Amino acid sequence: MDQITFKRVFKWGFINFFRNGVVSVATVLVMSLSIFMIGIVVMGSIFLNGVIVSLEEKVDISVYFKQDAAEQDILSMQKNLQDLPEVKDVKYVSRDEALRIFTERHQGDTVVLQSLQVVEENPFYASLEISAKDTAKYESIAQFLENSEQASLITADEAGQKKITFRQNQAAIEKLTSLLSTARLVGFAVSIMLAFIAVLVAYNTVRLAIYNSKEEISVMQLVGASNAFIRGPFLVEGVMYGLLSSIFTIAVFYPIFWWTGKKTASIFGGLNVFLYFTANILEIAAILISTGLILGVLSSAFAVRKYLRV
Tens digit of pLDDT for each residue in 231-264? 788 888 888 888 998 999 999 988 888 888 777 6
Position with higher pLDDT, 81 vs 160: 81
H helix intervals, the chain: 3-20, 22-58, 71-82, 95-105, 110-119, 138-147, 165-211, 214-222, 227-265, 273-279, 281-305
pLDDT at residue 78, as a whole number: 86
- Reported as a single tens digit per residue, the pLDDT across 209-219 is 777 777 777 77
Please give the residue that has the higher pLDDT: either 274 or 173: 274
Taking only the tens place, the pLDDT of each residue in 84-103 is 888 888 888 888 888 887 77
The predicted structure's pLDDT at residue 43? 76
Inter-CA distances, 205 with 115, 209, 212, Å: 73, 6, 12
At residue 303, the pLDDT reads: 76
- CATH class given for the domain over 66-154: alpha beta
Determine the Cα–Cα distance for residues 269 and 107; give it in Å rounded to an integer.
27
- Per-residue pLDDT of 123-148, as tens digits, reads 788 888 888 887 777 778 888 887 87
Report the alpha-carbon distance of residue 182 to residue 218 in Å, rounded.
53
Mean pLDDT value of segment 198-207: 75
The answer on pLDDT for 55 being more than 70 is no
Distance CA(218)–CA(224), nearest Å, equals 10
Which of the four pLDDT bands, split at 50, 70 and 90, describes residue 203?
Answer: confident
How many CB atoms within 10 Å of residue 95?
18
Residue 234 pLDDT? 81
Pairing verdict, β 127-132 and 61-64: antiparallel
pLDDT of residue 310: 44
What's the length of the chain?
310
Q: Does pLDDT of 167 surpass 70?
A: no
The pLDDT confidence band at residue 112, using thresholds 50, 70 and 90, is low
- Average pLDDT over the chain, rounded to an integer: 77
Residue 250 to residues 37, 190, 191, 282, Cα–Cα distance (Å): 12, 22, 19, 11
147, 178, 179: which is closest to 80 by C-alpha? 147
- 149 φ/ψ angles, rounded to the nearest 5 degrees: -65, -25
Prediction pTM value: 0.59
pLDDT tier for residue 116 given thresholds of 50, 70 and 90: low
Cα 73–Cα 155–Cα 163 angle in degrees, nearest 5: 115
Question: pLDDT: is 76 or 118 the higher one?
Answer: 76
Listed by start position, the domains of the chain span 3-55+178-305, 66-154
Distances (CA, A) of 164 to 135, 169, 171: 15, 9, 14
Beta bridge partners of 130: 61, 90
- Other Cβ atoms closer than 10 A to 146: 15
Q: Which helix (H) or strand (E) holds 130?
A: strand 127-132
- pLDDT reported for residue 10: 78
First-to-last C-alpha distance (Å) of the chain: 18
Report which of residues 137 and 290 the model is more confident about.
290
